[in-house]
Amino acid sequence: MTTKSSKEEVGLDKSHFIPEHQQYAQRLTALEKRRAQADHPHKGGERIGHKAHKIKWYRYFTSGERVAKLVCLFGGGLLLALYVISPLSKIKQIQVVGNNELSAGQVEKATQIHPGRYIWGVYADRNALSQSAHKNNPQVKSIRVRVTGPQAVKITVQENPVVGLVEIKQRDYDVLANGQLQVAKSDKSKITYQGFGKNRTVLRKTAVQIGKVKPVIRNGISAIAYRPTKISPRRLVIYMRDGNTVYADYKTVGKKLAYYPGIAATMKDPGVVDLQVGAYSYSYGSHDK
């Protein structure tokens, strides 16, 4: 009985001891792993340290980039402000293009763009300057201002050319291509307009049409008279410098006069070129006028 009981106790003690031994072994293994990590800390902490290093440099770089942008922004603004108030922003060179009848001086006077004026003010007011230039000189139809350098501008002009001369109330006026009138200059080689004194609307429409005619043809006109008839209430009689006379309609004369050089070249003697309806010609005295 004693022996059996002892065996049972030993068996119980052994079965009870085995789990504790395994637990001890597990604890020992865990301690060895911890000791190994303590002896070689770089193996476990390398990635964390590397990430922290990257974050540090990224923050430094982005903050430096922001500072650089702010410096460039404020620095550029300061330089611009200094340029605006300095003599370096005053105009020294003006180039005028597109003018035929107007001189560069006349364009500068009309636009009020002159050396010594601040270039930034001219550029900011360029649209208003175009309108004021037309008011100051009706021959200036429009202008376009472009800055070509720190102290240089380019003015491109579109003109309202003078298409003739008209006498109204014993005073001579230049007739512009847009139908406006201005006090005439002392140039007697211009086209003279006759019979328009009480027909300003017809004069304006005629001037607009003549403004469409090529200069080489327009320069060959000596005078234009408004001579309406019952059959042709819009008839113009145009006296050419080559001795011919042209009949035309004031609503279509700008287009029809383009045929005149070709017709005149076929005429053996001076005569009449009728452009009112169609286009044909005849010599003086050979047709019942």
Give the model's pLDDT for residue 22: 67
pLDDT above 70 for 277 = yes
Give the model's pLDDT for residue 18: 54
Region of poorest pLDDT, from 42-46, 213-217, 272-276: 42-46
Distance CA 124, CA 153 (A): 13
pLDDT above 80 for 11 = no
Give the model's pLDDT for residue 225: 95
Mean pLDDT of 269-281: 91
18-65 pLDDT per residue, tens: 566 666 667 767 766 666 665 555 544 445 555 555 665 556 556 666
Give the model's pLDDT for residue 98: 92
Mean pLDDT of the chain: 80
Quote the tokens at residue 45. Answer: 């902490």
Q: Of residues 22 and 250, which shows the higher confidence score?
A: 250
Q: Of residues 39 and 226, which shows the higher confidence score?
A: 226
Mean pLDDT of 196-210: 92
Distance CA 224, CA 245 (A): 10
Give the model's pLDDT for residue 220: 92
77-115 pLDDT per residue, tens: 666 666 566 677 788 899 999 998 888 899 999 998 888
The model carries a pTM of: 0.62
pLDDT category, 171, cuts 50, 70, 90? confident
What are residue 155's phi and psi, to 5 degrees?
Answer: -110, 115
pLDDT category, 213, cuts 50, 70, 90? very high
Structural contact between residues 163 and 207, judged by C-beta atoms closer than 8 angstroms: yes
